[in-house]
Amino acid sequence: MSNDSSKQAISDDGRYMALTRDIRVLVDPAYLEERSDPDAHQFVWAYTIEIRNEGQQTVQLKERYWKIIDANGKVEHVRGSGVVGEQPVINPGEVFEYTSGCPLETDSGFMVGHYTMELLQNETFDIDIPAFALDLPSTPRVVN
């Protein structure tokens, strides 16, 4: 989690949620059965992320960091510039949404991470991406 005060929970509509410095991140993962091949140990999830700027300052998403852990405990760290080829600018009251994916060799796992945001004054800070489970549809959703 980031150094700033952050809250993580399940939102009223069932999405994983984190709130850091008036930036709300909501995550909705979904198992992609049609892209998965359990016999070959290939399980694929999509996740839709909504980033809401509930603050008073314009921010830009500069970098992402993910920690992905499968059911065997295998850990992968992913860092990169922006998300889905963009470094979106999010004005107060605006929402940025994108969908990406994650393959695993096991039928479950979880992801957690943070985005590095930048204010117009060149101040950078991290906001939490809530920990979320990558589980088959029959598994109940819980906060990790």
Residue 128: CATH number of its domain:
2.60.40.1470
Structural domain that includes position 115: 6-134
**Quick check: is 75 in a domain?**
yes
Our count of domains for the chain comes to: 1
For residue 115, what is the enclosing H or E element? strand 109-119
Q: Which two tokens stand for residue 51?
A: 């980033």
**Quick check: is 141 in a domain?**
no
**Quick check: is 15 in a domain?**
yes
Nearest to 68 by CA among 34, 33, 108, 97: 108
**Quick check: is 143 in a domain?**
no
With cut-offs at 50, 70 and 90, classify the pLDDT of residue 122. Answer: confident
Whole-model pTM above 0.75?
yes
Radius of gyration of the chain (CA): 15
Give 14-70 pLDDT, tens digit per residue: 899 999 999 999 999 999 999 999 999 999 999 999 999 999 999 999 999 999 999
DSSP string, 28-90: EEEE-GGG-BGGGTBEEEEEEEEEEE-SSS-EEEEEEEEEEEETT--EEEEEEESBTTB--EE
**Quick check: is 69 in a domain?**
yes
